[in-house]
Amino acid sequence: MVHPSQMPVVITSDTSEGIDTMASLSYYSRLRFTYNLLPLLSHSPNGRVVSILAGGKERGLDINDLELRKKYSVTLVAQNCATQTVLSFEVLAQKYSSVTFCHLYPGFVNTGQLDKLIVSLKGVWRYVGEIARWTLIPLLNYFAATTIDVAGERGLFIATSGKYPPADSGIDMLVLPEGVETAKSSVTMEGRGNGVYRLHEDCESISNDCDLVLEGYRNEGTRDKVWKETEGIWKKALLAK
């Protein structure tokens, strides 16, 4: 599982299969791992998928340009990957109702990656980076960053807690701790959640304006179009081998 803070800040090249590298790391490869393992996970009493990326950061998609070949930016790639992750998780959860799917936004985790980036800067930007390294970054790490240990503990909690039951909750064997409430899934119908969770860095469910974007995509059939497009990208990648 690749953590976003461990990826280079700017990645604009393509993989050997012709897929944008950032999109491949953040979305296509993750979903492919998930898809391939689901038959096994579905036979587990506690099958669970946790993608640490950008839960709650979903935004609108250009359904005619999901690969962003016409209009590209790192920000758009990140937003696309976040939105497509949730929509694809919802498609998979319909078929594998005994598996839980969690999409977590970890916040800013102090992995030391910013220091590595500054060391790689050249020319005048190296001086600017060094100033930030000894002024802004320490303040950011102290007041806003989460430590690696805490981030790991939160990830482990999500992977093992009964707070996040699958759609078929009768199969889940994890016990909900006393005083802990079940998380809110991305879709709830007739009191039953779909087993997909968009989570903030504190491991709680996210409810924000992105909900309206996702709801529109569900009603318009965009969710199924995204999944079909994803399968097409995988097929193209396999044929390129």
Note the pLDDT tens digit of each residue in 64-80: 999 988 888 888 999 99
Contact 9, 25 (CB under 8 A): no
Please name the residues in contact with 176: beta carbons below 8 A apart, sequence gap of 6 or more: 161, 162, 163, 182
Provide the mean pLDDT of the chain: 86
Same domain, 65 and 120: no
Global pTM reads: 0.84
Q: Which domain holds residue 125?
A: 110-145
Task: Kindly state the average pLDDT of the residues 87-97.
Answer: 96
Same domain, 66 and 161: yes
Please name the residues in contact with 40: beta carbons below 8 A apart, sequence gap of 6 or more: none
Same domain, 154 and 82: yes
Decide if pLDDT at 41 tops 80: yes
* Whole-angstrom distance, CA of residue 114 vs CA of residue 6: 10
Q: What percent of the chain has pLDDT over 70?
A: 90
Same domain, 76 and 164: yes
Same domain, 102 and 202: yes
Same domain, 53 and 73: yes
Please tell me which residue, 223 or 145, carries the higher pLDDT value. 223
Of 97, 55, 66, 74, which is closest to residue 13 (Cα–Cα)? 74
Same domain, 98 and 122: no
Q: What pLDDT shows up at residue 143?
A: 65
Of 188, 225, 203, which is closest to residue 158 (Cα–Cα)? 203
Task: Kindly state the average pLDDT of the residues 103-130.
Answer: 79
Strands, E, within the chain: which ranges?
48-52, 100-104, 188-189, 192-193, 196-199
Task: Kindly state the average pLDDT of the residues 200-210.
Answer: 88
Same domain, 123 and 181: no
Same domain, 90 and 168: yes
